[in-house]
Structure formats: C-alpha cells, structure tokens
C-alpha cells in the first residue's frame, strides 16, 4: 500500500517501530519519579509555584492507582495542577 501510494509511509514506519510499554501497575516503583517530573513540568507551565513538590508528590504518588500507562499518570497530575 505504501508503494501504491494508498498508505502514508511515515505512518507505516511509526506503526512498525512502536514497542508496547508495560503498564505502570507492573512498575509501581517508577510512579513517584514520573509524578515528580510531571509536577515540575505542569506547575511551571501553569505558573503554580504554590505546589508543594517532593514530599506531597511521593505521598500522593504512592496512593495513586494507575492501571494504565504514563500518559494516564500525566493526565492525572495535570488535572491536579489545574
């Protein structure tokens, strides 16, 4: 289909090079570090210097049940900052 021009070449390469990332529920030890990263990023983006970072982040991250992926965690953190 790529050769025929009926399928975009860039999409073909993206779809064949994509690796499945394991769910965060299988790597809960990564959640605090990822949450801290997203807290810093979104508190800076939304100019929220009043957000307590490290202590609150690690406590909240330990209580978050993320069944999905990193993007889901990012959305939770972004929503909390907003």
> How far is CA 10 from its chain centroid?
24
Structure confidence by residue, pLDDT tens digits, 20-44: 667 788 888 888 888 889 988 999 9
Is the predicted pLDDT of residue 10 greater than 80, yes or no? yes
Structure confidence by residue, pLDDT tens digits, 49-66: 776 655 555 555 556 666
Record the tokens describing residue 9, joined without a space. Answer: 């070449």
The residue written with tokens 């997203």 in the block is 38
pTM: 0.61
């Amino acid at each position: 289909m790529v050769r025929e021009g009926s399928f975009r070449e860039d999409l073909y390469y993206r779809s064949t090079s994509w690796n499945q990332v394991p769910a965060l529920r299988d790597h809960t030890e990564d959640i605090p570090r990822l949450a801290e990263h997203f807290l810093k990023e979104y508190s800076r983006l939304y100019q929220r210097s009043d957000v307590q970072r490290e202590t609150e982040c690690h406590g909240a991250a330990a209580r978050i049940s993320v069944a999905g992926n990193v993007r889901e965690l990012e959305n939770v953190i972004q929503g909390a900052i907003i």
